[in-house]
Amino acid sequence: MTKAQLMTTLAEKAGLSKKDVVNFMDILTAMAYNEAKKNGEFVLPGFGKLVRVDRKARMGRNPATGEQIQIPAKKVVKFKVAKAAKDAIL
């Protein structure tokens, strides 16, 4: 499903205008990004949560040369699916 199809379907099912749904989704997305950045996670009940994870520095290997390299520490974002979503899909 494309973004346009998703927005149209949500607008029809909620009885709202497509413009209102697009505006709501933009606000929700911005809120999710800000909360995950500030607090380390953003929970959408029944769907899942965005989690900011700090990865430690580690040793890796260059696959082309086989040479060992140091991979620096960094922050990554993960999405953990809620149990309710897993149960509904699987």
- Report pLDDT digits (tens) over 70-80: 999 999 999 99
Burial class of residue 87 (count of CB atoms within 10 Å of its CB; 0-12, 13-18, 19+):
exposed
* Residue 68: Cβ within 10 Å count: 9
Mind listing the pLDDT tens digit for each residue in 31-58? Answer: 999 999 999 999 999 999 999 999 999 9
Q: Tell me the percentage of the chain whose pLDDT exceeds 70.
A: 100
Name the CATH code of domain 41-90 (choices 1.10.10.10, 3.50.50.60, 4.10.520.10, 1.10.8.60): 4.10.520.10
Q: What is the pTM of this model?
A: 0.77
Residue partners of 26: CB distance under 8 A and separation at least 6 = none
**Would you kindly state where each structural domain of the chain is located, as residue ranges?**
1-39, 41-90
